[in-house]
Amino acid sequence: MASPSPLRNASHRRLNPLTGEWVLVSPHRTQRPWQGRREPQAPTPALAHDPDCYLCPGNSRANGVRNPDYPHTFVFDNDFPALKADAPTTREVDGLLVAEDETGLCHVLCFSPRHDLTLARMAVADIERVVDVWVEETIALGGLPDIASVQIFENRGEMMGASNPHPHGQIWATRHLPNELEKETDRQAAYLVQHGRPLLVDYLDRELELGERVVFANDDFCVLVPFWAIWPFETMILPRRRIGGFEELRTREKTSLAAALSQLTRRYDKLFDTPFPYSMGFHQKPTDGALHVEWQMHAHFYPPLLRSATIRKFMVGFEMLGSPQRDLTPEAAAERLREAAG
Ligand code: H2U
Ligand code: ZN
C-alpha cells in the first residue's frame, strides 16, 4: 500500500504474507473517548541477588539442584519440561481423531547472573553473550537427529506469565515443526518459487523504501512494526542480508543483533515508563537437514500493552472467533516507538 492510501482512515484488512492470515484495522476507532489515567509504576526488582530466586547463581532450584556460580550466562535442562527426549514413534488415526508422538528438549537460559537486570538494562556486550548461547544451542540441538526446529523465546513480565523476574528465556527443540514455523516455511518457500527472491528480503527492501513503519536500523538489522501487526506495539527484527538461522551469523552481526535488542527493549521501557512485558522469539530455518534457502531468520516481539503500564490489549470476542483486530495503526505505533528514543 503506497501512501497516501484511501484505506488509511477507513476500516480495512491487511494480509500477513508469512502466515496467510488477515488482521482487521479500524483506525477511526482511535477517536473513541478515553478516560484513562496514569497508574503507579510496577517496581523493578531491587536485589542484584535474590536468595529466594530459583535462577540466581549459587541458589537451589525447585528440584533441589544447585545452580553454579555462573559469571555470565547459564543454560540448564528445564526441570519441568513440556517435552521428553524419548517417546515411542507412533501415529494413531481414528477418522478425525489424529495423534502422534512428539519429542524434544526444553532448556532454560539465564541471560545474566544479576537478578535485577532485563535485556533493556543489560550492557550490549552481555547481550552479545546471550546471542552466542543462542548460536551454540541452535547448532547443538539443531544438529541432533530427530530435531526439526529450535525455538528460542522469552516471556517477559508477570503479564505474560513469566514465572520469575530474573532475566531468562527458553529454548524448545522439537521433532516436528510447530504451527507457526510450518506456516512460515510453506509461505516463504512458495514465495521463493514464484518470485525467485526470499519473501522477507523483498519485504524489508520495500519497508526501507517507505520508511513509515521502520523504528530504527543499524548496519546489519532493521526493527520495524510489520504492516500486518496484530499487537499494538508488535515489532520484528529483520537482518539486512539473507541469513537463514543463528549459525550463519557473522561476528559483527552478533554485535549488531545485540545492539538492536538493547535499543528496542529500551524504547519499549520508555514508551509507558515501565518495564515492558512481551513474548518474543526468533524464527529460524528448520534443522531438518534441508537447505531452506527460502528462510530469512527474524525475531517477533508481541507486547500486550496498549495505552499505559496496565491497560493492555485483549485478544477476545471477534479476535478469538474471527480475526485479530487493531485500532492504533502500525504506522502510528512505529512513530511512537521512533519517538521513544534515548
Ligand atoms: P518462564 O519463561 O515462563 O518464566 O519459565 C521458566 C521455566 O523455568 C519454566 O518452564 C523452569 C520452569 O519449568 N524452571 C525450572 O526448570 N526449574 C526451576 O527451579 C524453576 C523454573
Ligand atoms: Zn534471580
Helix, strand or coil, per DSSP, at residue 287: coil
Q: Relative to the CA of 79, which ligand 1 atom is closest?
A: 16
Residues with CB under 6 A from ligand 1: 54, 61-62, 78-80, 108, 155, 161-164, 170
Residue 7: predicted pLDDT: 79
Do residues 70 and 76 lie in contact, with contact meaning Cβ atoms separated by under 8 Å? no
d(CA 222, CA 239): 6
Per-residue pLDDT of 142-155, as tens digits, reads 999 999 999 999 99
Residue 73: predicted pLDDT: 98
Residue 69 CA, chain-centre distance (Å), reads 29
Q: Could you tell me where the DSSP H helices lie in the chain?
A: 124-142, 179-195, 199-210, 251-271, 318-321, 330-339
Residue 163: predicted pLDDT: 83
Residue 4: predicted pLDDT: 63
Between the alpha carbon of residue 48 and those of residues 35, 58, 117, 240, 311, the distances in Å are 38, 13, 8, 36, 29
- What is residue 136's DSSP assignment? H
d(CA 325, CA 328): 10
Q: Relative to the CA of 162, which ligand 1 atom is closest?
A: 4
Q: Which residue puts its alpha carbon closest to atom 3 of ligand 1?
A: 162
Residue 28: predicted pLDDT: 83
Residue 36: predicted pLDDT: 47
Return the ligand number nearest the Cα of 65: 1
Ligand 2 ion: Cβ-proximal residues, 5 Å cutoff: 50, 53, 55-56, 115, 166
In the reported structure, the alpha carbon of residue 49 is separated from the centroid of ligand 2 by a whole-number distance in angstroms of 6
Return the ligand number nearest the Cα of 152: 1
Return the ligand number nearest the Cα of 161: 1
Provide the annotated active-site residues: 168
d(CA 11, CA 24): 7
Residue 39: predicted pLDDT: 56
Residue 230: predicted pLDDT: 97
Rg of the chain over all Cα atoms, to the nearest angstrom: 21
Model-level pTM? Answer: 0.95
In the reported structure, the alpha carbon of residue 236 is separated from the centroid of ligand 2 by a whole-number distance in angstroms of 28
Helix (H) / strand (E) element for 108: namely: strand 104-110
d(CA 41, CA 271): 13
Domain ranges of the chain: 45-339
In the reported structure, the alpha carbon of residue 38 is separated from the centroid of ligand 1 by a whole-number distance in angstroms of 32
Per-residue pLDDT of 183-238, as tens digits, reads 999 999 999 999 999 999 999 999 999 999 999 999 999 999 999 999 999 999 99
d(CA 275, CA 159): 11
Do residues 67 and 138 lie in contact, with contact meaning Cβ atoms separated by under 8 Å? no
| Per-position pLDDT tens, the chain of length 342 | 555 677 778 999 999 999 999 999 998 876 655 544 455 555 666 799 999 999 999 999 999 999 999 999 999 999 999 999 887 888 999 999 999 999 999 999 999 999 999 999 999 999 999 999 999 999 999 999 999 999 999 999 988 888 899 999 999 999 999 999 999 999 999 999 999 999 999 999 999 999 999 999 999 999 999 999 999 999 999 999 999 999 999 999 999 999 999 999 999 999 999 999 999 999 999 999 999 999 999 999 999 999 989 899 999 999 999 999 999 999 999 999 999 986
Q: Relative to the CA of 160, which ligand 1 atom is closest?
A: 3
Query: Candidates 3.30.1490.190, 3.40.50.10860, 3.40.50.12780, 3.30.428.10; correct CATH number of 45-339?
Result: 3.30.428.10
